[in-house]
Amino acid sequence: MEQSLITSMLFATLVAGTPLIIVALGELITEKAGVLNLGAEGTMAMGAVAAFAATHYTGNPYLGVLAGMAAGALMSLLFGLLTLTLMANQVASGLALTIFGVGLSAFVGKPFESLTLPAVPAIRIPLLADIPLLGPALFNQQSLVYFSWALLGGVIWFLYKSRAGLILRAVGESPSSAHSIGYSVIGIRYLATTFGGAMAGIGGAFLSVFYTPLWVEGMVSGRGWIALALVVFATWRPLRVMAGAYLFGGVMISQLFIQGSGLQIEVPSQLLSALPYLATIFVLVLISRNQQTIRLNSPMSLGQPYRPDA
Amino acid sequence: MSNRRNFIKAASGVAVATALGFGLLGAAQAADPLKVGFVYISPIGDAGWTYQHDQGRLQMEKALGDKVATKYIENVPEGADAERVIRELASSGYNLIYATSFGYMNYVERVAKQFPNVTLMHATGYKTGKNFGNYNARFYEGRYLNGVVAGKMSKSNVLGYVAAFPIPEVVMGINAFARGARSVNPDAEVRVIWVNSWYDPGKEREATLTLISQGADMLTHHTDSTAVVQAAEEKGVNAFSYHSDMSKYGAKAQLSGTTHQWGKFYTDTTQSVLDGTWKPASTWGGIKEGMIEIVPLNSSVPADVKALVDKLEGDMRAGTFHPFAGPVVDQDGKTRVAAGEVISDEDLSHMKYFVEGVASKLRQN
């Protein structure tokens, strides 16, 4: 309460956007390699339950994050086995993975439903956190919020500045060319898919260990789908993914603040609740409406299986 | 090989059982338990709406013993799936079915017409038929009592309410809470955040933190998760749980709460079906009928507040006090129920206005 309103709104916005950023950046890498994994929702659910269980048994939230990451990676390996090795349809397999993950997480999560975890304290960055208004919101945050920023930097550097990123993009653009100059398309796609799954697992871990420290069935509540949509609407560009995630979080938090302020507003609350979705789509479509940049940034072979010997 | 052997074993087992069954047909029929089916909207979990129904089912099972055999199906969405599930129960010998979500109503009605020998009970709806009854709980009575505690205990006079959808059921609860608080604290105001979801722990938590940062020190919710109580505990403010006792999630924070108790109702209703005395009815029971209970007050609540709550609860049990006894004034100053009158159940279940004391605006549709 001694915090100003702006600070607390900004703080909440960052927290709400963080799982979306982590999951969407993971998916972005996956899609840049030409693999469309629609299983984010189920992968997050598995990550959430694994992280909760591990944190419950070890008492260490970071072991929880590792467990979530491992669970997410395993889920995506399963997806890779189906779509990359067995050449199953990626859209159908991804949807199946979501249904499977949501269901399995509910099943293995049963014993954890009545438990809670202690809240993980925020990490305060000295000096920076003393900046008025912005400091307490930006630099007195959960560790995974900082991680999401580091991840963004890492993804941008990897995709556009590193040789490995160039190869990954080549695999997504033209797998046959990449293959013909000697790269293992399937191997690289496995790596990209596993990374995406691991990030979705961390996103889930953020929800069950840091955000609302509890496990309940269905707690992901569509955030996996929002992350998937963000990647497309941001036309596969990492910075725009982050902008979109914060915009979504920001509009959601603002509408809550408006409602809670007791202001006499004559807008139906259903419309207010839909506002984050509308605003995010509207803004991202607007800034990404250039056909040429869409063509430049969307991976050409997205969703298409690749058979190296064909 | 072992598979086949098992199969043969199982098959002969079935044959013997069938033979026995036929042999004992007369006796078996008398001892056949009544098959009772429950259809739940969400997973049972550890707290919340469905959890309370399942507790009721277990209590009923315990009370009636081998006279009944129950089965539940959880996570049934309110749509065509619900009709399929309910019909399947009806056609597989479940002669009494409890469907526990509002959106099942029309499906229950359709199945009721197709299976005249099956008794269907629908929670929170308003339709009835020859073999089709409905039931609901006057949870607003508990809300009023929670409001009294909140009004007494609040230091900021701002009470936060995380609510799912602007429908009469939810509005009624908000109004009861506000009236309870206002009855002891004329400066109290209730701020409402609609999350437009019955169940989204993340969003419920955000709404809670928002209300806290805007000064609310008493929180309650009409949503299904434990996130609100948990967030209140974390921030060192107080909360009132809904559906279930959530003290596990907020030992300090939770001052009280409003809980649904279906056990006695399920036992009585099932017994009446067993006895053949069941009649279609709309049951709306509250504290008096034992269908609503408040969570015992936290030890941090002072004795005088507890005495006041006990007295009001006693009056409700005796039927001498109604939370919506006039005058009921809405937030625009219009008198909705005149002094000396009590709101009708009809008006109560169609409530579309906020009473005075609620700071948020309700859009009239």
pLDDT band for B31, please (50, 70, 90 cuts). Answer: low
Parallel/antiparallel/unpaired status of strands B328-329 and B335-337: antiparallel
- Report the alpha-carbon angle A121-A257-A266, nearest 5: 165
> Is residue B157 within 8 angstroms of chain A, CB to CB?
no
* Residue contact B360–A207, C-beta within 8 A: no
Q: What is the mean pLDDT of each run of 10 residues along chain A (310 residues)?
A: 72 93 97 95 96 94 96 97 94 95 92 81 86 84 94 96 95 92 94 97 95 86 92 91 93 86 73 85 81 83 81
* Cβ neighbours of A226 in B, within 8 Å: none
Q: How many CB atoms lie within 10 A of CB A106?
A: 20
Residues of A in contact with B249 (CB under 8 A): 116, 214
Residue A251 to chain B, least CA–CA distance (Å): 12
Q: Note the pLDDT tens digit of each residue in A83-108.
A: 999 999 999 999 999 999 999 999 99
With a CB cutoff of 8 Å and minimum separation 6, the contacts of A247 are A276, A279, A280, A283, A284
Total residue count of chain B as it appears in this document: 365
Q: Tell me the residue type at B333.
A: G
Q: pLDDT tier at B5 (50, 70, 90 boundaries)?
A: very low
Nearby residues of B46 by Cβ (< 8 Å), 6 or more positions away: A113, A114, A216, B226
What per-residue confidence (pLDDT) applies to B264? 94
Nearest in space to A256 (alpha carbons), one of A3, A9, A2, A7:
A9
Q: Looking at residue A102, what is its pLDDT?
A: 93
Task: Report yes or no: A173 at the B interface, CB cutoff 8 Å.
Answer: no
- The answer to whether the CB of B327 falls within 8 A of the CB of B335 is yes
pLDDT band at residue B21 under the 50/70/90 scheme: very low
Q: Which residues of chain B have a CB within 8 Å of the CB of A106?
A: 43
The structural domains of chain A, with segments of one domain joined by +, span: 11-118+138-297
In angstroms, the CA A269 to CA B191 distance is 14
Contact call for residues B256 and B298 (beta carbons, < 8 A): yes
Q: Which residue of A has its CA nearest to B201?
A: A219
d(CA A152, CA B263): 53
Q: Is A216 on the interface with B (CB under 8 A)?
A: yes
Q: Which residues, at least 6 apart from B100, have a Cβ–Cβ distance to it below 8 Å?
A: B38, B39, B40, B41, B49, B50, B53, B123, B124
- B9 pLDDT exceeds 50? no
- B206: nearest CB among A1, A16, A267: A16
Q: What is the pLDDT of residue B149?
A: 97
- Token pair listed for B342: 């009590």
Per the rule left: phi > 0, alpha: psi between -120 and 50, beta: everything else, B225 is: beta
**What pLDDT, on the 0 to 100 scale, is given for residue A285?**
82
Please report residues of B whose CB lies closer than 8 A to that of A213: 230
Q: Which domains does chain B have, with CATH numbers?
A: 32-137 (3.40.50.2300), 139-259+292-348 (3.40.50.2300)
Q: Quote the tokens at residue A161.
A: 């500045």
User: How many alpha carbons fall within 13 Å on the CB side of residue A55?
Assistant: 29
Chain B residue numbers touching A5 (CB-CB < 8 A):
213-214
Nearest to A221 among B192, B202, B231 (CB): B202
User: What are the tokens at B248?
Assistant: 């596990």
Would the CB atoms of A116 and B249 count as touching at under 8 Å?
Answer: yes
The whole-angstrom separation of Cα A22 and Cα A206 is 9
Q: Which residues in chain A have Cβ-Cβ distances shorter than 8 Å to B206? A: 12, 16, 252-253, 256
Q: State which amino acid sits at residue B27.
A: A
pLDDT at B315: 95
Contact between B230 and A214 using a beta-carbon 8 Å cutoff: yes
Contacts A142 to B, Cβ<8 Å: none
Average pLDDT estimate for B107-135: 93
Is B137 strand, coil or helix? strand
CB contact under 8 A, A214 and B226: yes
Distance from CA of B263 to the nearest CA of A (A): 21
Instruction: Give the Cα separation of B227 and A208 in Å (integer).
Output: 11
Buried b (16+ CB within 10 A) or exposed e, B241-276: bbbbbbbbbbeebbbbbbbbbbbbbbbebbbebbee
For chains A and B, count residue pairs whose Cβ atoms are closer than 8 Å: 112
Q: What whole-number distance in Å separates Cα of residue A36 and Cα of residue A229?
A: 12
Complex-level ipTM: 0.75
Q: List CB contacts of A83: < 8 A, sequence separation 6 or more.
A: A35, A89, A90, A93, A305
Question: Do A259 and B43 count as a contact with CB atoms less than 8 A apart?
Answer: no
Q: Which of B47, B42, B41, B44 is nearest to B254 (CA)?
A: B47
Interchain CB distance below 8 Å, B201 and A214? yes
CA distance B95 to chain A (A): 29
Which residues sit opposite B34 in a β-bridge?
Answer: B68
Nearest to B351 by CA among B338, B332, B364: B364
Q: Do A264 and B365 touch (CB under 8 A)?
A: no
Judged by CB atoms closer than 8 Å, whether chains meet at A207 and B45 is answered as no
For residues A260 and A212, the answer to whether their CB atoms sit within 8 Å is: no
Question: How far does B355 lie from chain A, in Å, by closest CA?
Answer: 14
Count of helix runs (H) and strand runs (E) in chain A: 13, 2
Verify whether the Cβ–Cβ distance B194 to A116 is below 8 Å: no
Query: What are the pLDDT digits (tens) for B187-216?
Result: 999 999 999 888 888 899 999 999 998 899
Instruction: Give the mean model confidence (pLDDT) for residues B92-100.
Output: 95
Q: State what percent of residues in chain B have pLDDT above 90.
A: 72
Using an 8 Å CB-CB cutoff, list chain A residues near B45: 113, 216-217
Q: pLDDT at position A3, please?
A: 56
Nearest to A8 among B213, B227, B365 (CB): B213
A253 near B CB under 8 A:
yes
Residue A130: how many CB atoms within 10 A of its CB? 12
- Tokens found for residue B212: 């806290």
Q: Judge whether A3 is closer than 8 Å to chain B, CB to CB.
A: yes
A-chain CB neighbours of B360 within 8 Å are 259, 262
pLDDT of residue B3: 47
CA distance A44 to chain B (A): 14
B168 vs A: CB within 8 A: no
Residue B275 φ/ψ, nearest 5 degrees: -80, -10
Looking at residue B15, its pLDDT comes to 46
Tokens of A103: 């269901």
Query: Per-residue pLDDT tens for B231-256?
Result: 999 999 999 999 999 998 999 999 99
Q: Which stretch of A107-121, B171-185, B320-334 has the lowest confidence by average pLDDT?
A: A107-121
CATH code assigned to A11-118+138-297? 1.10.3470
Q: Tell me, yes or no, if B201 comes closer than 8 A to chain A by beta carbon.
A: yes
pLDDT of amino acid A228: 93
User: Measured between CA atoms, how close is B257 to chain A, in angstroms?
Assistant: 18
Name the band, by pLDDT with cuts 50, 70 and 90, for residue B22: very low
In this prediction, residue B363 carries a pLDDT of 67
Interchain contact B43–A (C-beta under 8 A): yes
B291 pLDDT band, cuts 50/70/90, is very high
CA distance B280 to A212: 43
Residues 6+ apart with CB under 8 A from B235: B209, B212
Higher pLDDT, residue B96 or B326: B96
Q: Which residues of A touch B248 (CB under 8 A)?
A: 114, 116
Least confident of B3-17, B284-298, B345-359: B3-17
Residues 6+ apart with CB under 8 A from B14: none
Distance from CA of B191 to the nearest CA of A (A): 6
